Copies of this chain bind each other. A is one copy, B any other.
Amino acid sequence: MLRAQGRAVHQCDGGWVPVYVDQEQSICLMSVGFLLENPDEAVVWRGPKKNALIKQFVSDVAWGQLDYLVVDTPPGTSDEHMATVDALRPYGPLGALVVTTPQAVSVGDVRRELTFCRKTGLRVLGVVENMSGFVCPHCAECTSIFSRGGGEELASHAGVPFLGSVPLDPELTKSLEEGRDFIREFPESPAFPALLSIAQKVLTEAPARVP
């Protein structure tokens, strides 16, 4: 999605140098994918090995001065999530952004994520509903492919902010496939105002700390 595939991670005195994805060096990232010889290789690792790498990604990467560190986790409430929360705790993480799709099966899973946040003392910045309706590009009618409103209900039930719904948009998927700049190329997309409003709410809820 960020056109970073195949890029290499180098070592410096401060640790691993993360991969910068834009010329302004405003976004950098770290992924186990950069450390594999073959991108199709399966990372067949049990919990302890994964936990150790997550810890290293927080402590042994020369992140420099960051406004935000975003950790994109898989679904679930297992080793990766515990290791991430443990590794970040000394830095006082701003909180968790919890994403669900609208249908009950997904909301049930995400409800357990919220319980996990409560148990581990991680603040919940809010809930986002993704894949929330689809506006047909041929007839402009909207269909709720995956049910409707599950994210908002979940947030209200759990007493956490609801940050917004992002509709399905084939242009967004396509842009991500091709590593293109969605925001510049598709300012008219229905997903764009949704994403913008969510980003603004997050920035208000969790302003970057000036050290």
Q: Give me the interface of A with B, judged by CB distance under 8 Å.
A: 1, 39-48, 50, 74-79, 81-82, 103-105, 108, 111-113, 115-116, 119-120, 134, 136-139, 141, 143-147, 168, 170, 173-174, 176-177
Chain B nearest CB from A131 CB (Å) reads 9
Q: Which of A44, A103, A104, A147 has the most CB of B within 10 A?
A: A44
The reply to whether B78 and A50 contact each other, CB–CB distance below 8 Å, is: yes
CA distance A144 to B173 in the complex (A): 10
The reply to whether A112 and B173 contact each other, CB–CB distance below 8 Å, is: no
Chain B nearest CB from A10 CB (Å) reads 23
Of the candidates B1, B45, B145, B176, the one whose C-beta lies within 8 Å of that of A170 is B145
Residues of chain B with a CB closer than 8 A to A108's CB: 39-40
Residues of chain B with a CB closer than 8 A to A143's CB: 134, 136-138, 170
A136: nearest residue on chain B (CB-CB)? B136
The reply to whether B116 and A42 contact each other, CB–CB distance below 8 Å, is: yes
**CB<8 Å pairs between A and B, sample of 13:** A41-B115, A42-B115, A42-B119, A44-B78, A44-B120, A46-B47, A47-B47, A74-B75, A78-B79, A103-B177, A104-B177, A105-B176, A136-B136
CA distance A149 to B147 in the complex (A): 25
